[in-house]
Structure 1
Amino acid sequence: MSTKSADSFERAFPRWSLLRGKPRSSLLWSSLSSVVLCLLLFSLFLTADLLTTRGGLVLTSSDVDQVSKLAGSSLQIGETENKGLLPTVWWSREKLWGPALSVAYRRIEWLRKDNSALMLLVLTAVVLGIFRGMLLSRARRANAEAGWNIVSGLRRHVHRQRLRLGPGDLEDADGRQVVALFTLEMDRLRDGIVTWLMRMARCPFEIVVLIGLALLIDWLVALQCLIPIAGCWYLVQRERERFEAARKSANARTDSELRLLAESLQKTRIVRGYGMENFEHDQFQLHMDRFTRDAMAVNKRERWSRRTCHLLAAVCAGVVLFLVGSRILQAPHALSFTSATLVLAAFTCLHLPMKELWHVTDHRAEASLAADHIYRYLDRIPEVGQAVGAKFLEPLTKSLEFESVRYSLPNRKNILNGFDLRLPAGKSYALVSLDPLEALAAAYLLPRFVEPHGGRVLFDAEDIAWVTLESLRLETVYVGGTDPFFTGTVRENICCGANGYSSQQVTDAAKQTHAHNFVLKLPQGYETVLGEHGEQLDAGQGFRLGLARAMLRSPALMIVSEPETLLDDDTKTMLDDTYKRICTDRTVLFLPTRLSTVRRCDEVVLIHQGKVSAVGPHTELLQTSPLYRHWDYVHFNEFRSNGQ
C-alpha cells in the first residue's frame, strides 16, 4: 500500500475519530463483548469442573477448618458429596480469582448443590452467549452507521465537486468516472472502513483479554504455550503469503498460455487455406503441454503448502499438549485438567481474532485505493472560474465572435486551432463538422462549460471571460438532445426548482414547444412525477420538455443539440413548428441531426480541422464546398441506417 493511499484512508477516517461518535460506540461494545467472551469461557470452565468433581471433596483434619471458612458453613472430616462448586473453590483458593469465587459460593445458595449449580452455570453461559451476540450486533450496527456517515459525506462532496467542475468533458469520460466513484468506489471504501473498524475495535482487545485469561489460570504454562503458538502462527501466515505470491505468478503464466490456445481457434481459415494442419497441431500441443504443466505446478505447490501448514499446526499442537500435560503431571494441585482445558480453549479462541487482525491490512489497502481515487477527483481544480471583479453581461444584441480560439482535450491534438468566426445576432445557425467534437467544443465555449486554451469569445465585443457566470448562463442556454429529466414533477422539471415562475408562465413555455399536449395526458398533468419511480418520457417528449425549460427563461442565445434518436413524423412536425417560435427575436445555434433543421437555418458553419471551412446557406454550400457536400452525404444520404 503506497504512502499516498494510506494518507487517503487517514483522510477519510482519521485515527482520532475512533474516540468519537459511532466508532467510539463500536469500540465500547466490542470491548465488552471480549470481556463477556472470557466470562463465558470461565462459566463453561466452572461447569466442566463441576461435572468432573461431581461436588465431592475429601477433607482431612488439617483442611476442614479452612474449607469450612471458605464454604461459610461447618464441615465434617471425610468425604463430602453434593457440595456444588466447593471443590473448585477449595483448589482455586490461591488463584487470583479464588477469593471472588469463594464469596460467590457463600452468597449464592444455588452454587452449594450440584444440580442447582449446574442449572445456574448453564443458564449463565446461555445468557452470556446471548449477551455477547447482542453486543457484537450493536458493534456491527455502530460500524455500519460510521461507514455510511463517512461515505454519505463523501458523496455530498463528490456531488458538489461535480457541479463545481461543470460539464466540461466533451467525451463524457468524467461523467462515467464520477458515476463509478459515486457507486462502486464508495461501496468499496465503506466496506473497507466497516471491516477495518470492526476488527480494530474488537480483535486487539479480545486477544489481550484471552491471553490475560490464560495467564490468570496459570501464567507459567500460558507463557510456555504462547511461544510455539506465536511462532507457528507466524510461519503459517508467511507460508500462505509465499504460496499466494507464487500462485499469482503461475496464474499469469497459465493465462498467457491459455490466450495462445484460444488464439489458435481463430486461425482456421489460414490453417486450412495454407495446409498448415500438422504445424498447427504441433504448436497447439506444445502450448497445451505448457499450460497443463503450469496448472499442475500450481496444484502441486498448493498441496505442499497445505501439507506444510498442517505439519506446522500439528507440531505446534503437540508441543502445546506436551507442555500442558507436563504441567498437570508435575503440579496437579496448581493446574487441574479443567484448568488446562480452559487454557487451551482460550488459545483456540485466539485463532479467529488473530486471523482477522492479520488480514486487516488487506481490507485497509483496498479501502485506501478507493479513497485515493475519490480524493484525486475531489482535489481537482475547476477549469472554469469566475474572474475577480467580473461584471454583469447584457443580453446579446449585435454579434457573437470567436477570436483565434484554441481548445484541445488531454492526449489529443487541438480540436479548435485558430478558430475565427463572427456571427451577427438575431439569426439561426447550424454548427456542423466531420468530427462532432469540434462543433460541440465551439458550442460549449459559449456558456463557458469549457474554457478556451487560447483566444477569446466575445458577446457584443465583450470578452465573456470577464463577466459573471450567472449573467452569462442566464442569457445563454444549452439544450441537449439527451438531457435527462430530474426525478420530480413536470412543473419542477421545467422550472428547475426555481420558485419565481407562475403556473401560467410554465404552461405558456410548454405550449410554445408542443409539450403541453402530452403533459396533459399524463396521470396528474404538470404534477406528474417523472423519473425512475415515476412516469417515463420518450426521446421526443424529453427533448421538447428541455426546450420548454429553456423557453421559460427567454434567453438571448439558445444552443440546441438535436437528439440522435430516430423521431416519429408527428414529433418532427412539432419540432419544426417549435423552431419557428424559438428562433424569433433571438440568436439560435443548432447542432443538427435532421436535414430539415439544417435547411431552415439562415447559415451553416462548417468546421474542419479546428478552423472555419465554410459559412453560408445550405443550398449555397452544397454548390461551393466539396467538404460540405461530403458531410451532407455522410449524414443524410438515403442509405444511412440511423439518420433522421
Structure 2
Amino acid sequence: MKILMRLLKFTRQDWPNFIIATVSVLVITGFNLWIPMIIKQILALIGDGQSPDALLGITRSGLMLLGAYLGRTVCQFLQRYYSHVGGWSLVARMRQKTYDHIQKLSLRFFQDKPTGQLMSRMISDTANMETLTAHALPDMLSNTLLLIGVTVLVFSLNATLACYALIPIPLLIFALFRFNTKIRPALRKVQATLGDLSALVQDNLSGIKEIQLFTQEPHESERVGGSVWKYTNGMLASLKKTAFYHPLFEFLTSIGTLLVVWLGARQIMIHGTMEAETLVAFILYLGMFYTPVTTLGRIVEEIQTTLAGAERVFEILDTDPDVADSPGASAMPKVKGAIQFDNVSFAYRKDVPVLEHINFAVAPGSSLALVGPTGVGKTTIASLIPRFYDPTAGRVLIDGVDIKTITMESLRSQISLVLQDVFLFNGTVADNILYGAPQADEAAMKRAAEQAHAYEFISQLPEGFDTRIGERGVKLSGGQKQRLAIARAILRDTPILILDEATSAVDSETETEIQAALRELMRGRTTIIIAHRLSTVREADQILVLSDGRIAEIGKHQELLRKGGLYSKLYHIQFKNAPEPPEILEHVELAGGRG
C-alpha cells in the first residue's frame, strides 16, 4: 500500500485529466444502471398489448435507450482518452525522474549494475504505471460504484433472489485473496528476469565484435536462449495461475446466475410473485453484479504487476549518491590549476585499500605523470580529482580549496579528460566535438579540429563535420576517435587536463600524430598523465611512481633513472632490447611549463 500511495503522489500534476476521467466513470456507471430499467419498462409495455399508449411508450423508451447508449459512448471516450493522457504523462515524468536520478549517482553505483537492468527498470517497469492509472484504478472505481448501485437495485427488485445471488461471493473473495498472494511474488520475479535478459542482450550487442572474433556465437546463443526461456517459463508460470483463477471466478459466478434463473422461474410460473420483465432486468443486473467481482482478479493482477515494477523503480530513486554536493557548497571560479593530494587514502571496498597516504602537489600549468604496474591506483588518483569518488581519508585540493566544499558542476567544468577507451555518441562529428562546449561556434570547432590534427580526415568523410559516426564511433578508427576526443578537449578549454593511456591503443605512426595533437592540448594546462609506455612521460615535470597503492618515488625522468629504483627498473624492462632509450618525446615541452 505504501508503494501505491507513493506512486499516486506523482499523479498530482495530472489531476485535471483524472478528474475528467473520474466524472466520466460516474456518468457511465449511471447509464449502466439506468439501461436495464429502460429495458424492463419496454418489456412491461409489450405485455400491455398494441394500445396506442403502449406503442408511444415503447417509442419514448427506445429513444431514451438510444440517448443512454450515445451518452455512455461519449463518456467512455472521455474516460479512456483522459485516463491515458494522465497515465502516459505519469510514465514520462517517472522515466525523466529516474534518468535524472541515475545521472546523479556516483560511479560506484554502476560497478555492479548491468546497463540492461537499469534500462529495463527505466523503460519497462515505468510503462506498467500507465496500466495502473489508465486501466486498473478507473476500472476499480467503476466496478466498485457499479457493484454498490447494482446491489441496491437487485435488492429493491427482489430481495430473496438477491440473497441467493450472494451465495458465491464468499468463495469469490477467498479465491481472489489466494490469487493476490500468489501472483505478486511471481510477477516480481518475472520482472527481474526480464531485466537480466535485457542486460545480457545489451552486453552482447556491445561486444558483438569479440563474439564473432572468438567464434562464440553458439555459446552466446545458448546463454541468451537460456535467459529467454527462463523469462518465458516464469511468465508462463504466472499465466498458469491466471488461467486457473479466472475460469474459477467465472464458474463461481455462474452458480449464482443458475440459482437466480431457477428460483426466478419458479416464482413466475408457480407462485406468480414475479413478472417476467423483472426477472429479465434482474438477470441483466446480475451480470453487472458479478462482473466487478470477477474483474477484480484482473485488476489485482494489473496492480500487482505495476507495484512490482514500481518497487524496482523506487529502489533506484531511493539510492543516495555516494558523491554529492556538500551543504553550503559554493561555485568555484576559473582556477589556475594547482592540484594537491593531502594524505589521501581510498578503497573501493572496505578493508581492501587501493591508495594509502598519498601526498603530492602539481603547480599550475605543469605536468605530472603517474606510472607503475597495473592495479596500483593510477586511474583511481585521476578519478578522485573530478570527484567521481571521494577519498576515504585525506583531502584533494585545487588552488588550495578542498574540492568537497565546491559544487561538482563548477569543479568538473574545470577539467577535461582524454581516455584510452574514447566514448563517442551516436551523432555527427560536430555533435561530438561540441559536446563539451555546445555554445562554441563553427569556426572555433574547426580550429579545434585543426589543432587536434583531425581536420584532414574529417574533411575526407562523406559529409564532413555532419557525418554520422555510429554508436560509440564505430565508423572511425581508434586514432580518429582519439583525435576527436582531443579536439573536444581543446574546444572545452579547461585549466586541468587528465590523459589516461591516451596513446596506448594506436600504432606508432598514429601515435606520433596524436602526440602532436596532445602537445597542442597540454600547452598552458595542468596535466595529469597516466601511461604504461614510459616513453610518453619522459618530459613530464614530475613523475610519480606508485607501488602497492603508495608512492614509491617521485622526481624527473633522469633523476629517477639515476636512483635505480622502481622507475628505473620498469624503464629498462620496457627498453631492454633497444640500443638506446627511445626519444619519442625528447625536446618536446609538455604542458607549457616546468613547475
- Please report the TM-score for the alignment, with normalisation by the length of structure 2: 0.70
Pick from 50, 70, 87: which aligns with 1:147? 87
1:223 matched to 2:218? The reply is no
Q: Does the CA contact (< 8 Å) of 1:434 and 1:631 recur in 2?
A: no
- Equivalent in 374, 383, 401 of residue 444 of structure 1: 383
Aligned counterpart, 1:89 = none
The residue aligned with 2:515 is 576
Verify the 8 A CA contact 1:147 1:193 in the aligned structure 2: yes
Tell me the residue number matched to 1:23: 18
CA contact (8 A) 1:229 1:316 kept: yes
1:108-167: per-residue Cα shift (whole Å, max 9, x none)?
7x46xxxxx9xx57xx86886676455434323222221222232233333443444455
**Contact 1:509-1:549 within 8 A present in 2 as well:** yes
Letter in 2 for 1:503: E
How far the C-alpha of 1:394 sits from its partner, in A, is 5.9
Residue 6 of structure 2 aligns with an amino acid whose one-letter code is: S
Deviation at 1:457, TM superposition (A): 1.7
- Residues in 2 aligned to 1:627 and 1:175: alpha-carbon distance in whole angstroms: 42
For residues 262-300 of structure 1, give each alpha carbon's deviation from its aligned partner in whole angstroms, at most 9, with x where no partner exists: xxxxxxxxxxxxxxxxxxxxxxxxxxxxxxxxxxxxxxx
**Per the alignment, in what secondary structure is the counterpart of residue 339 of structure 2?**
strand
Matched with 1:8 is 6
The offset of 1:443, in angstroms, is: 0.8
The structure number with the bigger radius of gyration is 1
Asked whether the equivalents of residues 432 and 604 of structure 1 are also in contact (C-alpha less than 8 Å), the reply is no
572-581 vs 127-136, greater mean Cα deviation: 127-136
Q: Distance in 1 between matches of 2:27 and 2:408?
A: 57
Superposed counterparts of 1:233-244, under 5 Å: 233-238=172-177
Specify the alignment match of 1:288 in structure 2: none
Letter in 2 for 1:448: R
Q: Deviations over 1:507-552 (max 9, x none)?
A: 1111122232343344553355667799965654444322212111
Query: What whole-Å deviation, never above 9, does each CA across 1:441-462 have from its counterpart, x for those lacking one?
Result: 2112112232222101234554
Equivalent in 367, 377, 384 of residue 324 of structure 2: 384
In the aligned structure 1, how far is the partner of 2:314 from the partner of 2:528?
38
> Quick check: 1:408 aligned with 2:347?
yes
Q: Which amino acid aligns with 2:382?
A: A
Match of 1:35 in 2: 30
Unaligned 5+ segments in structure 1 are: 58-79, 87-103, 112-116, 249-300, 634-644
Find the residue that maps to 2:167 and give its secondary structure: helix
How far does the alpha carbon of each residue in 1:580-605 deviate from its partner, in whole angstroms, 9 at most, with x for none? 32233333223447676467766654
| Pair 1:625 & 2:580 matched | no
* 1:476 counterpart = 2:434: no
Q: CA offset at residue 34 of structure 1?
A: 2.7
Compared CA separation, residues 37 and 176, structure 1 to 2 (3 A): same
Among 391, 402, 405, the residue aligned to 1:463: 402
Q: Kindly indicate whether residue 97 of structure 2 is the aligned counterpart of residue 192 of structure 1.
A: no
- Separation of aligned partners in 2, 1:564 and 1:343: 83
Is 1:319–2:317 an aligned residue pair?
A: no
* 8 Å contact kept, 1:488–1:529: yes
Is the Cα contact below 8 Å between 2:168 and 2:255 reproduced in 1?
no
Structure 1 residue 405 displacement after superposition = 0.8
Partner of 2:274, secondary structure, is: coil
Determine helix, strand or coil for the equivalent of 1:228: coil
Match runs of 1:341-380 below 5 Å: 341-380=280-319
**Contact map agreement 1:391 1:467 (CA 8 A) in 2:** yes
Equivalent of 1:514 in 453, 470, 484: 453
Structure 2 CA distance for partners of 1:573 and 1:126, relative to 1, 3 Å = farther
Whole-Å separation in 1 of the counterparts to 2:369 and 2:185: 64
Q: Distance in 2 between matches of 1:380 and 1:241?
A: 29
The CA deviation at 1:611 is 2.0
Provide structure 2 residue ranges, at least 5 long, that are not aligned to the other structure.
188-240, 575-595
Relative to structure 1, the CA distance from residue 173 to residue 238 in structure 2 (aligned partners, 3 Å threshold; closer, same or farther) is: closer
Distance 2:568 2:174 in 1: 73
CA distance in 2, matches of 1:369, 1:245: 7
- Assess if the C-alpha contact under 8 Å between 1:621 and 1:629 holds in 2: no
Aligned counterpart in structure 1 of residue 393 of structure 2, from 454, 459, 463: 454
1:568 Cα deviation after fit: 6.3
Give the equivalent residue in structure 1 for 2:223: none
* Within-5 A mapping of 1:103-252: 105=57, 110=59, 132=72, 135-165=75-105, 171=111, 173=113, 179-215=119-155, 218-238=157-177
Partners of 1:453 and 1:84 lie apart in 2 by 93
CA gap 1:620/1:158 in 2 versus in 1, 3 angstroms: farther
Q: 1:541 to 1:185 in 2, by over 3 A?
A: farther
Residue 526 (structure 2) pairs with residue 587 (structure 1):
yes
CA 128–412 in structure 1, closer or farther in 2 if over 3 Å, else same: farther
Structure 1 counterpart of 2:25, one-letter code: S
Identity %: 19
* Secondary structure of residue in 2 paired with 1:555: coil
Structure 2 residue aligned with 1:100: none
Which SS does the other structure have where 2:416 is aligned?
strand
**C-alpha root-mean-square deviation of aligned residues, in Å?**
4.8
Give the Cα separation in 2 of the matches to 1:4 and 1:494.
47
Is 1:430–1:592's contact at 8 Å kept on the other side of the alignment? yes
Q: State the alpha-carbon separation in 2 of the partners of residues 534 and 629 from structure 1.
A: 34
The one-letter code of the counterpart of 1:552 is L
TM-score (norm 1): 0.66
Which whole-Å deviations, capped at 9, do the CAs of 1:400-453 have from their partners, x for residues lacking one?
A: 3322112233567333232233445522514555337x3332112112232222
1:406 and 1:453 in contact (8 A); partners too? yes
Structure 1 equivalent of residue 236 of structure 2: none
Tell me the matched-pair count: 519
Q: Matches of 1:195 and 1:631 in 2, distance apart?
A: 72
